[in-house]
Structure 1
Amino acid sequence: MTKIKESLLNYFTLFGSLSTLLCCALPALLVSLGLGAVLAGMASNFPALIWMSEHKVKFFIFAGSMLALNGFLLWRNRNAPCPIDPKLREACISGRKASRNLYIVSVGVFVLGFLFAYVLPVLMF
């Protein structure tokens, strides 16, 4: 897989994770903090928030599949050789570290969104 495709996959993974955070975790957090009026104001200014909440299963499936695919590709390429040229080697190593860190952040955001969307509502009621 080319670097551009891997980079795009990283960004799609982060986008998917952030969409789960926006659709589910943010509204639940605002309501649990007693900020329902803020949520109502956000929903009136950002009507897609309601649509995203109604389709949260699709967002979680998309984000989960992107995370799984990205995790597999990161694991598969973990020992791939880097160029011999010192500058290119450093760029390769730093790119791998950045991809891994972005993946970890994406997984954390996904888990946070999942907790707010599916786990905490069951525990609160």
Structure 2
Amino acid sequence: MTPLLCLLVIAEITVILVLLFRTPLRRLVMFVLDRLKEGRGPIMSTVGVTLFAVLMSSLYSIVRIQKRSMETGGINPTDHVLLTNHILDSSLMGFCLFLGLMIDRLHYYVKRFDDSEEIKPWNKTKKTYETETD
């Protein structure tokens, strides 16, 4: 699961970087995000909720391993490996959820900003037309 989560984090960081800078690739990413969000809102939220549930399960396992180590007075090597694996997986899942939220907000703000940029030239031409007729 760790390699998949690492690839997901890298892909999300790449999408964020593409959204931050005005490049031709940004229009493509905006188009894809528009299509993903268009009629499939429940699918995206279902994936997020599922990832959150797996994150909570991993955090519960971390707490259970730590309680077991406090009862016995020390941690055995198997529990140590399991604990580090759960910590790595849960941190990657948390990063994925956070970056997904960032992508959602960036998509909203970039779309709003691009729409306002399209309106500005129309307002400028309208103002110059009004001043010429006065």
| TM-score for the superposition, normalised by structure 2 | 0.49
**Amino acid paired to 2:28:** A
Q: CA shift at 1:25, angstroms? A: 6.0
Change (3 A) 1:39 1:76: farther
Q: What's the offset of the Cα at 1:52?
A: 8.2
Alignment of 1:74-113 (within 5 A): 74-81=62-69, 89-113=76-100
Q: Which of 42, 61, 82 is the matching residue for 2:49?
A: 61
Larger radius of gyration: 2
Cα 1:92–1:74 change in 2 (3 A) is: closer
Counterpart of 2:61? 73
Q: Which runs of 5+ in 2 are unaligned?
A: 113-134
Distance 1:80 1:111 in 2: 30
CA distance in 2, matches of 1:89, 1:36: 54
User: Any idea what the Cα deviations from partners look like across 1:38-80, whole Å, max 9, x if unmatched?
Assistant: 7739x9xxx9xx6588432222122122212222232233222
Match runs of 1:1-125 below 5 Å: 11=1, 15=5, 18=8, 22=11, 26-37=14-25, 40=28, 51=36, 54=40, 55-81=43-69, 89-117=76-104, 119-121=105-107, 125=112
Q: Percent identity?
A: 8
Structure-2 change in CA distance of 1:72 and 1:39 (3 Å): farther
Superposition RMSD in Å: 4.2
Which structure exhibits the higher relative contact order, with contacts defined as CA atoms closer than 8 Å and separated by 6 or more residues?
1
Paired with 1:18 and 1:78, the residues of 2 have a C-alpha distance of 28
Unaligned runs of 5+ in 1: 1-10
